[in-house]
Amino acid sequence: MSRYWSDIVSKLRPYVAGEQPRIPGLVKLNTNENPYGPSPKALEAIGQAADERLRLYPDPAATELREAIAARFGLTAEEVFIGNGSDEVLAHTFQALLKHDLPLLYPDVTYSFYPTYCLLYGIEAIEIPVDEQFRIKLSDYDRSCGAIIIPNPNAPTGIGLPLAEVEALLAAHPDAVVVIDEAYVDFGGESAVPLISKYPNLLVVQTLSKSRSFAGLRVGFALGQRDLIEALARVKDSFNSYPLDRLAQVAATAAIKDEAWFETSRRKVIASRKSLVGELDALDFEILPSQANFVFARHKSRSGAELLAALRERAVLVRLFAKPRIADFLRISIGTDEECARLVSALKEILAA
Ligand code: PMP
């Protein structure tokens, strides 16, 4: 450890992103990307904007994109905040809204970036255990807190929290900011966006990485009443005045407007998830009920590490997490039907050995 490091840097446990290896013919089901590719209209918009105008700085307020998102969700542009992926939106959220005298609450099985942000910003957090079925139990959040963050559907379990429960949480904690991280909501979850007008303490975070197939573009956004959005803008403008480059702004605007592409792609993923669950069930996996573009499953007799390694030998990549409670679960992103078929045939071969 360097003697030049500050205390905070020494204590950080940085997030480890899923691998992006270059293995020819790889079936890549490890980082929840969408297998179908972004809207052709969005790609066209990038082509049209890639010219000498790139010498100019982008619109620091991402006005057109914010207006397009606002129109899509029935909000005003002042209720929309934009960032480089929802990871950056979350980073600003942790810094601007989640540090209080009272602790932040989040589930113990959840998105592993949350503890990292807490360390980075010196936020005291209490991890609330999920129950035996890996569900979030609302009554466990019945304690004093400064803020709460919950992914819905949860990651990496894929389990959704019904909207009525999200509303109960908001109503029970009027003085705490409640952040609902909806990275995966478009694959069957219930969005909390309709509650924004009623609850000034609600911030909803979404991304274009999953249902709009733009993980490579890095665009995420937060929706909430003006007060919360203003806090995020204050932090962003104290850090980096350009949330998105020019190409990302035009592409994301076109992607948000292309509702037909979005619908087709998310429906295909949901249908493939249903058939993959059937196949895994037949192979003796325990599968958590998923409302996301991945499934979280453990085999009844083989370890997660063994399956991960054997799949990798067959050029199929899935994800495993180090946390003891979920150590045998494979998180499998939903690919095309051909990719899912290759996963299933690899598993059949491994389990027959
Ligand atoms: N929230 C959750 C729960 C996630 O799983 C992810 C994806 N790793 C993100 C946010 C961040 O997604 P992105 O930065 O690509 O928008």
Domain 40-258 CATH class label: alpha beta
Pick from 183, 211, 222, 336: nearest CA to 272 = 336
272, 328, 334, 344 from 341: Cα distances, Å: 10, 22, 11, 5
Regarding the beta carbon of 186 and ligand 1, being less than 6 Å apart is answered no
Q: How far is the CA of 183 from the centre of ligand 1 (A)?
A: 6
Regarding the beta carbon of 155 and ligand 1, being less than 6 Å apart is answered yes
CA distance 316 to 50: 35
Domain ranges in the chain? Answer: 7-37+260-352, 40-258
State the ipTM, two decimals: 0.99
Q: How far is the CA of 87 from the centre of ligand 1 (A)?
A: 6
Provide the residue count of the chain: 353
pLDDT at 322 over 80: yes
- Please give the order of strands across the beta sheet that includes 294-299: 285-287, 294-299, 330-333, 319-320
How much is the pLDDT for 240?
Answer: 82
CA-220 nearest atom, ligand 1: 16
Amino acid in position 182: E
Regarding the beta carbon of 38 and ligand 1, being less than 6 Å apart is answered no
pLDDT band at 32 (very low <50, low <70, confident <90, very high): very high
CA-17 nearest atom, ligand 1: 8
Regarding the beta carbon of 86 and ligand 1, being less than 6 Å apart is answered yes
Give the pLDDT mean for 86-92.
97
Per cent of the chain over pLDDT 90 is 90
CA-18 nearest atom, ligand 1: 8
CA distance 254 to 20: 27
CATH of the structural domain 7-37+260-352, one choice from 3.40.1360.10, 3.40.50.1100, 3.30.420.40, 3.90.1150.10: 3.90.1150.10
Regarding the beta carbon of 225 and ligand 1, being less than 6 Å apart is answered no
How much is the pLDDT for 35?
Answer: 96
pLDDT band at 213 (very low <50, low <70, confident <90, very high): very high
How much is the pLDDT for 307?
Answer: 98
Pocket test for ligand 1, best of 87, 208, 296 (most atoms within 8 A of CB): 87
How much is the pLDDT for 7?
Answer: 86
pTM of the shown model? 0.97
Which is it for the CA torsion 205, 117, 212, 248, positive or negative? positive
pLDDT band at 1 (very low <50, low <70, confident <90, very high): confident
pLDDT band at 28 (very low <50, low <70, confident <90, very high): very high
pLDDT at 36 over 90: yes
